[in-house]
Amino acid sequence: MTPTITHLNLPFFDTVHRDLGASLRDWVGQQTVDETDDRQACREWVRRLGASGWLRYCVPAGPDGTLGGTLPRLDSRALVILRETLAFHSPLADFALAMQGLGSGAITLAGTPAQQAAYLPLVASGEKIAAFALSEANAGSDAGAMTTSATRAGDAWTLNGSKTWISNGGIADFYVTFVKTDPAAGTRGITAFIVDADTAGLDSTEHITVIAPHPLATLKFKQCAVGADQQLGMLHGGFKLAMQTLDIFRASVAGAALGMARRALAEAVSHSKQRRMFGGVLADFQLTQAKLGEMAALVDAAALLTYRAAWLRDEGERLGSSVRVTAEAAMAKMTATENAQRVIDMALQMHGGLGVKVGTKVESLYRDIRSLRIYEGATEVQQLIIGKAVLQS
Ligand code: COS
């Protein structure tokens, strides 16, 4: 099924975005990856996305193009279009691309030139798989409550503790890991480190199986020593770095949800025109038309908030302003994921029994969308962020 891309004519987008959307749609429509084994499939998607140049939007170009990116800066609208288009076709393909960006985002924002040169070009080519390790068993929404720690002795830091719900856990080549370096200082005592997957003392073998399978694991750090040159960003500056990274990628989660919602709507339209019922087709009935109308409006409402968040951030970067888009990104993420869940549920209902048959597209979308309302800040966290911003305005 091929998505329409008329929304790219909206004034939020430039020619570069319109061309990207059209060429990616053509490319991904020709790709078929066996996704029975999610780990193998994810590796394969990273390989193909890297070989065909799509991962180059996950990192900046850098001086003289040396960091491997296509564009000078991380471009939120490009990320949204990439995720929306990939998620329409395959949520796992979207996941593979998104994690390259999220996992390396903090290196783009705060890495030293040496760190950027060592990791970003290989992320862009798909030769290194990236991961972002923030959550812990008792520190999900309350990220500042983490207890995994790093202590310094001479030129090395030693990490101890555990991270969980880590996407790409077990297949990543490196983990951008946020730990306490001053346990008494709350969010002001967190520092980021780049931990290579083969570092002694890091165990990533505990896989987690979820309703829409994708690579996910618990990480255990036991006397895991990393060099001082693996510290990422400022000492005790890790919380803000994590939040700044999420500010960029939350709008792109909204893009992924949008892609899934658009696919569900397209499936519903196609099904309703073909399914014979009471001497006509499903689409002849006003009940069906009303549902499709509601679905289309939910999709467009999500799209406008998503594109606004991405445009605002890109515009701020272009003008060199440090305006935070935290609340706008939160609105986009919350609305797009919640609306997508509703749209997909309505599409499934319209399919009747077929909707719950394992293997139909709406059935897998129903599972695929669920985690997006939780990861990278649950809906309730987005509500909190927006509420705080409203009170401050
Ligand atoms: N950009 C820059 N700085 C930010 C920021 C952002 N987006 N968000 C917060 N900060 C700063 C604050 O300005 C504050 O700075 P000071 O210490 O200088 O005052 C500091 O970070 C702490 O902020 P705050 O007091 O708002 O932190 P809270 O502990 O109340 O946490 C929430 C706020 C709940 C919003 C945060 O913990 C969060 O986003 N949690 C969800 C985490 C998440 O997404 N987990 C999923 C992991 S990825 S799958």
User: Per-residue pLDDT tens for 198-236?
Assistant: 999 999 999 999 999 999 999 999 999 999 999 999 999
Q: Which atom of ligand 1 is nearest to the CA of 167?
A: 49
Topology (CATH) of 247-392: Butyryl-CoA Dehydrogenase, subunit A; domain 3 (1.20.140)
Is the CB of residue 330 below 6 angstroms from any atom belonging to ligand 1?
Answer: no
Specify the residue with its C-alpha closest to ligand 1, atom 21.
Answer: 240
**Range list for CATH 1.20.140.10 in the chain:** 247-392
Is the CB of residue 246 below 6 angstroms from any atom belonging to ligand 1?
Answer: yes
- Compute the mean pLDDT over every residue in the chain, rounded to the nearest whole number: 97
| CATH for 132-236 (3.30.300.130, 2.40.110.10, 3.30.70.3340, 2.60.40.1930) | 2.40.110.10
pLDDT in the model for residue 324: 86
pLDDT in the model for residue 71: 97
Q: Which atom of ligand 1 is nearest to the CA of 144?
A: 29
Q: Which atom of ligand 1 is nearest to the CA of 381?
A: 34
**Range list for CATH 1.10.540.10 in the chain:** 6-128
Pick the catalytic residue from 136, 328, 376, 380: 376
Residue-wise pLDDT for 270-290, tens only, equals 999 999 999 999 999 999 999
Alpha carbon 10 to its chain's center: 23
pLDDT mean over 254-269:
98
Residue-wise pLDDT for 25-73, tens only, equals 999 999 999 999 999 999 999 999 999 999 999 999 999 999 999 999 9
Is the CB of residue 382 below 6 angstroms from any atom belonging to ligand 1?
Answer: no
Q: Is 328 known to be catalytic?
A: no
Residue-wise pLDDT for 371-383, tens only, equals 999 999 999 999 9
For a ligand 1 pocket test, name from 138, 167, 190, 243 the mutation site with the most ligand atoms within 8 angstroms of its C-beta. Answer: 243
Measured CA to CA, the distance from residue 268 to residue 217 in angstroms comes to 34
Is the CB of residue 189 below 6 angstroms from any atom belonging to ligand 1?
Answer: no
pLDDT mean over 335-363:
98
pLDDT range class, residue 312, cuts 50, 70, 90? very high
Specify the residue with its C-alpha closest to ligand 1, atom 24.
Answer: 187
Residue-wise pLDDT for 121-169, tens only, equals 999 999 999 999 999 999 999 999 999 999 999 999 999 999 999 999 9
Is the CB of residue 236 below 6 angstroms from any atom belonging to ligand 1?
Answer: no
pLDDT mean over 110-122:
98
Is the CB of residue 328 below 6 angstroms from any atom belonging to ligand 1?
Answer: no
Level-2 CATH architecture, domain 6-128? Orthogonal Bundle (1.10)
Reading phi first (left if > 0) and then psi (alpha if -120 to 50, else beta), residue 179 is in: beta
Please measure the distance between the N-terminal and C-terminal CA atoms of the chain and give it in whole angstroms.
44
**Range list for CATH 2.40.110.10 in the chain:** 132-236
Q: Which atom of ligand 1 is nearest to the CA of 375?
A: 49
DSSP codes, 311-369 = HHHHHHHHTT-----HHHHHHHHHHHHHHHHHHHHHHHHHTGGGGGSTTSHHHHHHHHT
pLDDT in the model for residue 61: 98
Evaluate if residue 303 carries a pLDDT over 80: yes
Evaluate if residue 323 carries a pLDDT over 90: no
Measured CA to CA, the distance from residue 256 to residue 365 in angstroms comes to 12
Name the nearest CA neighbour of 163 among 185, 128, 192, 186. 192
